[in-house]
Amino acid sequence: MRFIAYIFALLAGMALSFEGAIYGELGKNIGKLETSFYNFIVGAIILGLLWLFFGKGNLSYAIKAPKWSLLGGVLGVVYLTAIVISIPFVGVGITMVAVILGQLIMSMVIEHFGWLGTNKVKINREKVLAVISMMIALILVN
């Protein structure tokens, strides 16, 4: 099962690169904020249909959920809009390496302190070396 999760994560990363390239180009034509808006409108329609036919959860729980857990939508807008803005200037590859580097750094901090309900996983030398290696890669690719 763990292997399948890795494959899904790998495919998600590939999809994000395609999405970034597509939306970088769309942003040049219709505007950056308009592109993000388009993404979320189309996504809401598709997810609404999937939810209507296949949803088994309890959406009404969102009212009772911890308020911090509802920030994902805001962060999604920040993430996508930053990508739409960055790609025309630095390209898909550099943007995605920077995104992955940011994700790696923040995920290490979140796990180190056990924030947001995660298990505590201490930052170690290997993780620091991985971040430094990615920073070097980002500089070299740029």
* DSSP secondary structure of 75-100: HHHHHHHHHHHHHHHH-HHHHHHHHH
Note down pLDDT in tens along the chain; length 142 residues. Answer: 889 998 988 899 899 999 999 999 999 999 999 999 999 999 999 999 999 999 999 988 889 988 888 898 899 999 999 999 999 999 998 999 999 999 999 999 999 999 998 999 999 999 999 999 999 998 988 7
CA 14, 48, 25, 106: dihedral to nearest 10 degrees? -50
Residue closest to 93 by CA, chosen among 32, 30, 14, 28: 14
- pLDDT score recorded for residue 36: 94
Q: What is the largest CA-CA distance in the chain?
A: 48
pLDDT at 6: 87
Question: pTM for the whole thing?
Answer: 0.82
For CA atoms 55, 58, 63, 64, the dihedral sign is negative
CA 23 to CA 32: how far, in whole Å? 8
Q: Which pLDDT score, from 0 to 100, does residue 109 have? A: 96
Confidence at residue 38, expressed as pLDDT on a 0 to 100 scale: 96
